[in-house]
Amino acid sequence: MVKRRINNNIRKLRFFHNEMTQQELAEKVGVTRQTIIAMEQGKYSPSLELAFRIALAFDVPLDEVFSYDPEADSN
Partner 1 sequence: MSFQEKNIAVSLANFTLILGFYSIRVFQMIQGGSFNTTNVFRLWGIIIALAIIITIFATILTHILSAIIHAIKTGEEKPDIEDIEDERDRLIDLRGTKVTYFISSIGGFLSMLTFVRGQPPLVMFTLLIFSGVVAQVVGDVSRLYLYRRGF
Q: Give the shortest CB-45-to-partner 1 separation in angstroms.
A: 8
Q: Give the shortest CB-37-to-partner 1 separation in angstroms.
A: 7
Question: Nearer Cβ to partner 1, position 27 or 64?
Answer: 27
State how far the Cα of 44 lies from the Cα of 70, in Å rounded to an integer: 17
Contacts with partner 1, residue ranges (CB under 8 A)? 30-35, 37-38, 41, 43-44, 46-47, 50
Q: Give the shortest CB-29-to-partner 1 separation in angstroms.
A: 9
